[in-house]
């Protein structure tokens, strides 16, 4: 199984809502990532978890809160978002300590903030 | 992290070979070059990775000159389904801080 799954596929939320994005992989990967991608732009790294510990936080606003409950799951909790946060949110995973610079990406969650 | 530059867009016809060049003048000694493909509304997909000379797999070839300041992704005999954005990334093998360049939007025409 070389698949990363993300739910929901689409999400519309108001600026006062609280919602969560979910990501799951069963490849035994120990690194998991969140990216944000605006239309016609490259993905931008937000967070990296390595062995279930947050290892990289790219100065993301606190209205985005990541969580890694176990090595297969990654959540992104959203609260008080702004319309400019509307984007495709991508989750990815990768092996640690292997001779490949390869990440496996999920299909993304299309988020619209109204 | 080495900054990369790529052409913004390219057009090709079905059956042709497509070469996309990426410039990375400040590549570090321990940096590798990796290419990803992304279709609309999908996550990027790993294509190929290399350090020097030439790497080939079932999908593409990657050519890296001796000075490693650039690299070329070669797609043989493209089809309409190869229409996508292609990203060049440069970084250390065990690095986690992926920085995607601007990407090249390839359009394959019938």
Q: Which of B49, B93, B96 sits opposite A48 (nearest CB)?
A: B96
Query: For the ranges A55-64, A74-83, A104-113, B29-38, which has the lowest average pLDDT?
Result: A55-64
CB–CB contacts below 8 A, A to B: 59
Q: Which long-range contacts (CB under 8 A, 24 or more apart) does A27-30 make?
A: A27/A1, A27/A2, A27/A93, A27/A95, A27/A104, A28/A71, A28/A95, A29/A71, A29/A93, A29/A94, A29/A95, A29/A96, A29/A104, A30/A71, A30/A95, A30/A96
B89 touches chain A (CB under 8 A): yes
Rounded to 5 degrees, φ, ψ at B81 are -70, -5
The verdict on a CB contact (< 8 Å) between B97 and A56 is yes
What is the rounded average pLDDT of the residues B53-63? 95
Residues 11-40 in B contacting A (C-alpha not used; CB under 8 Å): 32, 34
Out of A56, A102, A107, whose CB is closest to B46?
A: A102
Q: State which of A17-21, A29-33, A49-53 shows the largest mean pLDDT.
A: A17-21
Q: Is B24 left (phi over 0), alpha (psi -120 to 50) or beta?
A: beta
Selected for mutation to probe chain B from A91, A98, A103 (highest B CB count within 10 Å) is A103
What is the structure's pLDDT at B96? Answer: 65
**Average pLDDT score over residue span A87-104:** 82
| Cα A23–chain centre separation | 7
Nearest-Cα residue of chain A relative to residue B90? A101
Q: pLDDT digit string (tens) for B67-105?
A: 999 999 999 999 999 999 999 998 887 666 677 889 999
**Helix, strand, coil: what percent of chain B each, to 5?**
5, 50, 45
Mind listing the pLDDT tens digit for each residue in B36-55? 999 988 999 999 999 999 99
The pLDDT of residue A39 is 93
What distance in Å separates the CA atoms of residue B35 and residue B15, rounded to the nearest whole number?
21
Residue A102 DSSP class:
-
Q: Per-residue pLDDT for A51 more than 60?
A: yes
Measure in Å the smallest separation between the Cα of A18 and chain B Cα atoms: 24
Q: Is there a contact between A33 and B98 if contact means CB atoms under 8 Å apart?
A: yes
Percent share of chain B, pLDDT over 70: 94
Q: Does residue A16 carry a pLDDT above 80?
A: yes
| Of the candidates A77, A111, A102, A86, the residue with the CA atom closest to the CA atom of residue A4 | A102
A83 phi and psi, to 5 degrees? -55, -30
- Bridge partners (DSSP) listed for residue A48: A33, A56
- Which phi and psi (to 5°) does residue A84 adopt? -70, -10
In the predicted structure, residue A97 carries a pLDDT above the cut 70: no
**What pLDDT does B95 receive?**
62
Interface membership of B46 toward A (CB under 8 Å)? yes
Residue holding tokens 């350090």?
B51
Would you say B7 and B72 are in contact if contact means Cβ atoms under 8 Å apart?
A: no
Q: How confident is the model at residue B30 (pLDDT cuts 50, 70, 90)?
A: confident
pLDDT band at A50 (very low <50, low <70, confident <90, very high): confident
Average pLDDT over residues A15-25: 95
In B, minimum Cα distance to A106 occurs at B43
Is the Cβ pair A42, B100 closer than 8 Å? yes
């Amino acid at each position: 199984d070389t698949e990363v799954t993300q739910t929901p596929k689409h999400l519309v939320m108001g600026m006062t809502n609280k919602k969560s994005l979910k990501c799951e992989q069963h490849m035994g990967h120990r690194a998991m990532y969140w990216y944000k991608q605006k239309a016609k732009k490259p993905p931008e790294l937000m967070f990296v978890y390595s062995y279930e510990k947050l290892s990289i936080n790219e100065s993301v606003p606190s209205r985005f809160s990541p969580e890694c409950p176990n090595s297969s799951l990654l959540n992104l909790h959203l609260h008080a978002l702004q319309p400019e946060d509307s984007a495709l949110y991508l989750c990815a995973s990768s092996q640690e300590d292997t001779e490949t610079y390869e990440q496996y990406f999920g299909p993304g969650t299309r988020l619209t903030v109204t | 992290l080495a900054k990369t530059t790529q052409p913004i867009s390219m057009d090709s016809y079905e059956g042709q070979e497509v070469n996309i060049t990426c410039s990375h003048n400040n590549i570090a000694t321990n940096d590798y070059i990796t290419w990803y493909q992304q279709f609309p509304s999908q996550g990027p997909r790993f294509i190929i990775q290399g350090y020097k000379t030439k790497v080939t797999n079932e999908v593409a070839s990657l050519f890296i000159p001796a000075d490693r300041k650039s690299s070329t992704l070669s797609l043989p005999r493209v089809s309409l389904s190869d229409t996508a954005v292609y990203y060049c990334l440069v970084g250390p093998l065990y690095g986690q801080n992926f920085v995607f360049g601007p990407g090249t939007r390839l359009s394959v025409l019938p």
